Structure 1
Amino acid sequence: MSRRSLSTLLAAGGAAAVMALLPTTAQAQPFSGGNYGLYGQEGQYPTTSFCSGTFRQIGATKYFEGMALKYFYSDKCGSFARIENSRPGCAAVLQRSDSGAGRNDGWVSETVDSGINYAYTQMGNNLNGRVSRALLSCDGHDLVNTGWY
């Protein structure tokens, strides 16, 4: 069998031919609980065109055994959590509080995908007096977190 370029495959067999060549590893999935999804932007990733480019890191990067936890905020869209240099079995978690009290009313998490070492959550809406924080969780244990912002 001869090798073909991506453009040749697309022309000859369309996307189905390309999909047949891609690995079939499992993809990371978002999980959520509490009343997550109640507010605007929740359930969307920070890469949506409405929010893209509006985030800045708040607070210092937190570390645990070389893994990094970062918290990002946009006054237009809310916040999200990102972990880097992570091992398998870990997840980025964003907890959101309906009030400024710092009580976890809703949360969203994203596991580390096979073959990569980072993950980031969907957005949490911590606008209009609500607050949120980021956590690094591995094998069901919260290892490090940021403050409530």
Structure 2
Amino acid sequence: MSRRSLRTLLAAGGAAAVMALLPASAVAAPHSGGNYGAYGMEGQYPTISSCSGTFRQVGGTRHADGMALKYFYSDKCGSFARIEKSRTNCAAVLERSNNGVGRADGWVSETVDPGINYAYTMIGNNLHGRVSRALLACDGHVLAATGWY
């Protein structure tokens, strides 16, 4: 996947464009936008007891600049994005479409904490006809993306 400029992202809208405008933080924190949080399970991490162990990786691992992007799904809880071997100023992003057409209506992101090289997002509810996808974004550019599932 080719790198997209901030101008292209801003013109296209979506989570990555908003992320590019967020200040860098010493401690990772989730960010969200659109109508994220409108559906059950959103705002929870995939490690909560009712979801733990129900996720499976869907699609292949995507790679960019030595980093890895993975998409996980649970038919009980929804989905989340995970990045691994990441450098600083990168984030895992999960975009969710509430009508199944593959256009982001809500999104959540998580940046890499200092001292570690991975991050994962909170759950996105892509159950009941909704779809979602994972993105790896660094320094305001989308470096890798999965398909919509």
TM, length-normalised to structure 2: 0.82
Determine the structure 1 residue equivalent to 2:129.
129
What does the per-residue CA deviation read over 1:95-134, in whole Å, with 9 as the maximum and x for residues that have no partner?
Answer: 0000110010000000000000000000000000000000
1:13-92 equivalences in 2 (<5 Å): 26-92=26-92
The residue identity in structure 2 corresponding to 1:52 is S
**Unaligned regions of 5+ residues in structure 1, if any?**
1-24
The residue identity in structure 2 corresponding to 1:95 is E
Determine the structure 2 residue equivalent to 1:22.
none
CA displacement at 1:86 relative to structure 2:
0.2
CA displacement at 1:50 relative to structure 2:
0.5
Q: Does 1:107 align with 2:107?
A: yes
- Structure 1 stretches of 4+ moved >6 Å: none
CA displacement at 1:27 relative to structure 2:
2.5
Q: Does 1:95 align with 2:119?
A: no
**SS of 1:88 mapped into structure 2:** coil
The residue identity in structure 1 corresponding to 2:111 is T
What does the per-residue CA deviation read over 1:52-77, in whole Å, with 9 as the maximum and x for residues that have no partner?
Answer: 00000000000001100000000000
C-alpha distance in 2, partners of 1:75/1:30?
A: 23
Higher alpha-carbon Rg: 1
The residue identity in structure 2 corresponding to 1:94 is L
C-alpha distance in 1, partners of 2:26/2:46?
A: 22
* Root mean square deviation, CA, Å: 1.0
The percent identity for this pair of structures is 76
C-alpha distance in 1, partners of 2:119/2:143?
A: 16
Determine the structure 2 residue equivalent to 1:19.
none
The residue identity in structure 1 corresponding to 2:135 is L
CA displacement at 1:140 relative to structure 2:
1.1
The residue identity in structure 1 corresponding to 2:147 is G
